[in-house]
Structure 1
């Protein structure tokens, strides 16, 4: 007969791990069984039995006497470091839960986003959130790239909204929208009138692009390099509104995402899809893995839905941003 595997030790004393761990943490904190019993409203024998049961299960000695106090052994200190957050978390569960429920009607929410996200995507979401939760203090932190990730990692913001190409292992990214890449030119530009557009047709004209550190520039460079098509950059400048204005003035052409094109741009710009060469850009929610979202943060995330905040214009096929 095959040997049966030894079963995990069972915790016998009244069948609960939480009570003995709570008693153990109180003894470790107060240095006395009697004082721990008073804090827990238990008898000294009850606390002693719980400690003994815990030591039997773990197979180690948890306390040793140091003068008039009980001090954790090396193993006891390790257990205390592990058990204290669990015990305190469970003991404070009801209070924390009530605070989170109340958080929908009060508190604050910090969101990191780039200028394009704040300008083109978030207005409808922010408006809906303010209508539903007027008592929550909402702060939008205008940051892009590494700056936004630093705020997430330091818990300076609850979440970020934007576009990501490479997602670090410690962060989670949930894309919600997709936007087509678009070529924009003045209405009378030769490329605006050309019937069949090839990527090489852009080579003779200087591009107006966001700075090199931003995703759009890197993506444009990657696509031209992969297709072995030369290109020139006439101007680097931040902000889609500035780029559109300079293109309208005839200072160059640009490659943007459909998120930034509105009905008002029809009078001054010609736009053509570049989806044949450039992938669509996604837009969504970025969070630190393992972070517990507050009630107000969850309420904000729930509002980020395509039907609620996608731009309603002929250029957009769904969203993204640089």
Structure 2
């Protein structure tokens, strides 16, 4: 017989991947938690986690069971909320840029009905996949096969410079126009930096790295201080001059959700509001 009563405890363990922390949160002993997880593994017929060095990692079966447990918990919470005349919050995952420049109006209207995760692109996909977020918003270069996507908006990539900069009056520029310039760049591991460096090497020119900064607000601040120029997505709002870079690909933002998620009217309503706000309906 499947021990369904152990699913809430397993969900806490799956999110913590630490028996000590999970047992403390559940207010039970570690041996009791081990028993619950072991009984679930026996019912599934496969290990639910493995140990990699000092880390615990869910197996594919463990990840699937965690998703099932989270969906079941969500359904129960939604039922109880509706029974009590309440509306349960929708979890939304997005990056700093999306929150600052795309989603502000929707969040201001719906903040009481939202639970927000600030996440990178990879983290957003993970949060949506495992059910911790019902909806994600992110730039996607490739569309995931296992998730549904809705294109929200597409923006040029632009060079941001002070209005007295020699390139500020141009209608558009190309990457080689940045030859020898002092640049405010994202950190090396960031997707934009990787893309820029790859294209720069293909175009065979050099620039000077004036500073590496995390996040568009700090990059724009350095530009305002005269440290250098920066490349950002065209959705960024600033009083600085923005010049489109024609040989950089446009940046598409997508809403991301698991198949069937729009059957939940809360998710469908939030997605419709985001689309309407960005003019993608």
Same fold (TM over 0.5): yes
Note the 1:121-160 alignment, pairs <5 A.
121-129=102-110, 136=113, 138-160=114-136
Deviation at 1:151, TM superposition (A): 1.5
Tell me whether 1:238 sits opposite 2:238 in the alignment. Answer: no
2:243 to 272, 275, 280: 272
CA distance in 2, matches of 1:196, 1:155: 42
Q: Do residues 114 (structure 1) and 95 (structure 2) align?
A: yes
* TM-score of the pair, normalised by structure 1: 0.56
What is the distance in 2 between the residues matched to 1:184 and 1:308?
25
Change (3 A) 1:236 1:171: farther
Q: Is the 8 A contact 1:129 1:303 kept in 2?
A: no
Question: Whole-Å Cα distance in 2 between the matches of residues 168 and 309 of structure 1?
Answer: 22
The residue aligned with 2:205 is 229
Counterpart position of 1:295: 265
**Residues 198 and 298 of structure 1: CA distance in aligned 2, closer, same or farther (over 3 Å):** closer
Report the secondary structure of 1:220's partner residue: helix
1:248-259 maps to which residues of 2 (within 5 A)?
A: 248-259=224-235
Q: Does the Cα contact within 8 Å between 1:128 and 1:303 map onto a contact in 2?
A: no
Query: Would you say the 8 A contact 1:210–1:237 is kept in 2?
Result: yes
Q: Does 1:284 align with 2:254?
A: yes
What do residues 262-309 of structure 1 show as CA deviations (whole Å, max 9, x unaligned)?
Answer: 4xx1xxx222111x211111112012345565321111011122x524
Distance 1:293 1:213 in 2: 37
Note the C-alpha offset of 1:100: 10
Secondary structure of 2:164's aligned partner:
coil
Contact 1:186 1:249 in 2 (8 A): no
Match of 2:147 in 1: 171
Q: In the aligned structure 2, how far is the partner of 1:142 from the partner of 1:309?
A: 20
Structure with greater Cα Rg: 1
Aligned residue-pair number: 207
Secondary structure class of the residue paired with 1:192: coil
Q: Does the Cα contact within 8 Å between 2:181 and 2:208 map onto a contact in 1?
A: yes
Out of 283, 300, 308, the residue aligned to residue 277 of structure 2 is 308
Take 2:172 and 2:131, find their aligned partners in 1: how far apart are those partners? 49
Give, in whole Å, the separation in 1 of the partners of 2:263 and 2:186: 33
Query: 2:155–2:251: 8 Å Cα contact kept in structure 1?
Result: yes
Q: Please list every run of 5 or more consecutive structure 1 residues that lacks an aligned counterpart in the other structure.
A: 1-27, 30-94, 311-317
Structure 2: gaps spanning 5 or more residues: 3-74
Is 1:260–2:270 an aligned residue pair? no
